[in-house]
Chain A
Amino acid sequence: MSGNIDESPRTAAARLQGARLQCSGRWTVRHLHRVEDDLAGMNWPQQGIVIDLREVERIDTGGAWLLQRQVSALRTAGHTVKLQGLSDKAAGLLRLVTDSSRHPLSTPPDNPEGFLEDLGRKSVESVDSGIGLLAFIGEMGVAGLRQLLQPRRIRWRALADALVEAGHRALGIVGLLSFLLGIVIAYQGGVQLRQYGASLFIADLVGLSMVRELAPLITAIIVAGRTGSAYTAQIGTMKVTEEVDALRSLGIPPMDLLVLPKLLALIVALPLLTVFADIMGVLGGMVMSGAQLEIAYATYIDRLGVAVTLDSFLVGIGKAPVFAFIIATIGCYQGFRVVGSAESVGRRTTISVVHAILAVIVVDAAFSVAFSHLGI
């Protein structure tokens, strides 16, 4: 029985002796590669060619096809070809592939894409995608208003699930990263401040930069990578498996069940996560200042109270709901743009994270400019 999967099989071979092509070994797809090259490089004599298959141990459709291809090429070139020692099975396979080869392989539909055509196509796609996003935001607004007017339509269960997933489960990673960020800032800043004898101002440095800028930003970036991608992947997979259509046909608007709870949950969760990141970042700074600059924790906290005003805190927290809106909208929108296959889910998820992070950073920059003009 173990002869089925031979450990060291004889590969297919073909030797040309005069006008006789001596074939031997296993003419199966796994063992054909040498003979394919050999056949291509042969100098065929002008007289009638005899192909001797007596020593062929086994042949499959791949082998039969290669043989048939060679025979018909030779015949087209004006040779006469005779096959010898054909087993019944080989004869059957040859007939099979000869019948099939009447439908030759068509050439792929080639569409040479010039630079301009490519550019045009991409531009149209980008505009399409932008308009689609605006339409999506509009739809979301309408569905949101409808829910506000009829609060019993709000999916509390889905909202609670989304809150746990986007908020509570993200605490660990957000806390750890902002703690580490606080340590890094304190360490880098502390070296500089000590040179001027201004070590105490480390609390200002860490407190302000964390609370105003870095905590909201790092939280939004983590959440875009963690939750935004999950939104896209979930909705996208549901689209592939027609679950989205099933919801629609059951009279449940996908917007109500899949989008609004996620959006609302993130708008609630992201500011809370930002507060948590503020605390952890400042704590990280405090630990590092204690260790490196020998500033007592009490002194650090006192200084923090003077440096970080309520305005600064609110500026930081105020950006979070905007970031949440961006992340959830882009995540869900890209999920609905999935078409067809698993590959599309992967592509859309990547796009969703990249776009969300990009948009968050651009909007953050816009906030900075606006706040500085307003003098906050």
Chain B
Amino acid sequence: MSMSADSIISVRNLTMRFGSKLVHEDLNLEVRRGEVLAVVGGSGCGKTTLLRQMALLQQPSAGTVEILGYEVSDLSGMRAQKVRQHIGVLFQNGALFGGLTVLENVGLPLREHTDLSDRLIDEIAALKLSLVRLQAEDGYLYPNQLSGGMRKRVALARAIALDPEVLFLDEPTSGLDPVSADAFDELVLDLKQALDPTVVLVSHDIDTLWRVADRVVLLDDGHIVADGSMAELAGSDEPRVVRFLQGPRGRAAQAAQ
């Protein structure tokens, strides 16, 4: 195993093609254990695709993804199933199961992968709900009765149901109002402190990047063009970084720090 000691995911020589469109070209990335890594870039640069590949949801055209010490080449194989129990994914629109209540949504991974009693599963699910600051009585609602912000919280509670070692967040604050977005950032930081997962997130939200991310990689044109902390990126004079971070929005977010 050629991974360096402290990396938990390593992406090597990854190439991704959709038809004739090249999304990633020979991309290399190491995610260190315990860090909060943000993947950023313009729309359509393949951020979400990269996240899906790391989360074992999509097969790259070429190259390998090694996660938690396993190189998974067969996404439907037993090994992938096993590794997936140790990763949690927050999907952009929540992807809650409409036919299940909130509590059942959160308890589903526990019901599937453990032999615990129903009572204990419900209690653990309620505990996760309170960790994402939802009330216990919200547990009996159905997803279509929830607001967008609540739906994201429930999805986050489901993603952490099994106390994953790696947590993937796809656009965690998109579609939230600024107050809810701030609260969600805070929540991610609190969970990070409480459960200490490695977090990989994709975001457009420059405020989120400043507040949450330890390290930021900027994707452009299929390559990683910048890699460092937000402060380092903000001081960079690489034109693509400047364009992304130092527009009016980026400067406002920086000033707010």
A62 CB–B CB distance under 8 Å: yes
Chain B residues touching A, range: 35 or more
A83 to B131, CA, bound (A): 24
A99-107, A313-321, A329-337: which lies at the interface:
A99-107
> CB-CB < 8 A to B68: which residues of A?
1, 4-5
Cross-interface CB contact of B130 among A93, A103, A339, A344, cutoff 8 Å? A103
B123 and A65 form a contact (CB under 8 A)? yes
Q: Which of B157-173 contact A (CB under 8 A)?
A: 162-163, 165
A1 to B3, CA, bound (A): 8
B163 and A108 form a contact (CB under 8 A)? no
B21 CB–A CB distance under 8 Å: no
B28 CB–A CB distance under 8 Å: no
- Asked if A30 meets B82 with Cβ closer than 8 Å, knowing A2-B70, A5-B68, A101-B127, the reply is no
A343 to B96, CA, bound (A): 12
Q: List 30 A-B contacts (CB under 8 A).
A: A1-B3, A2-B70, A4-B68, A4-B69, A4-B86, A5-B68, A5-B82, A29-B110, A32-B114, A33-B114, A60-B195, A61-B127, A61-B163, A61-B195, A62-B116, A62-B120, A62-B163, A66-B120, A69-B123, A89-B196, A100-B130, A100-B131, A103-B136, A106-B137, A339-B144, A340-B142, A340-B144, A342-B98, A342-B99, A344-B98
A92 CB–B CB distance under 8 Å: yes
A30 and B127 form a contact (CB under 8 A)? no
- Complex: chain B residue closest to A341, CB-CB: B98
B254 CB–A CB distance under 8 Å: no
Q: How far is the CB of B217 from chain A (nearest CB, A)?
A: 22
Interface residues of A (CB under 8 A from B): 1-5, 28-30, 32-33, 36, 60-62, 65-66, 69, 89, 92-93, 96-97, 100-101, 103-106, 108-109, 339-344
Q: How far is the CB of B116 from chain A (nearest CB, A)?
A: 5
A5, A62, A103 — most chain B CB neighbours (10 Å) = A62
B114 and A30 form a contact (CB under 8 A)? yes
- Asked if A340 meets B3 with Cβ closer than 8 Å, knowing A28-B163, A93-B194, A106-B136, the reply is no
B135 CB–A CB distance under 8 Å: yes
> CB-CB < 8 A to B110: which residues of A?
29, 62
Q: How far is the CB of B174 from chain A (nearest CB, A)?
A: 17
B85 and A30 form a contact (CB under 8 A)? yes
> CB-CB < 8 A to B82: which residues of A?
5
Question: What would 6 more interface pairs be, CB under 8 Å, given A61-B128, A62-B120?
Answer: A2-B69, A5-B70, A33-B115, A62-B114, A106-B137, A340-B144
B1 CB–A CB distance under 8 Å: yes
B83 CB–A CB distance under 8 Å: yes
- Complex: chain B residue closest to A104, CB-CB: B136
Q: How far is the CB of B179 from chain A (nearest CB, A)?
A: 22
Q: How far is the CB of A12 from chain B (nearest CB, A)?
A: 11
> CB-CB < 8 A to B120: which residues of A?
32, 36, 62, 65-66
> CB-CB < 8 A to A97: which residues of B?
127
- Asked if A103 meets B116 with Cβ closer than 8 Å, knowing A1-B69, A4-B86, the reply is no
B163 and A105 form a contact (CB under 8 A)? no
Closest 10 A/B residue pairs (Cβ): A341-B98, A1-B69, A33-B115, A340-B144, A343-B99, A60-B163, A100-B130, A2-B69, A105-B126, A4-B68
A100 to B137, CA, bound (A): 14
Q: Which of B59-104 contact A (CB under 8 A)?
A: 68-70, 82-83, 85-86, 97-99
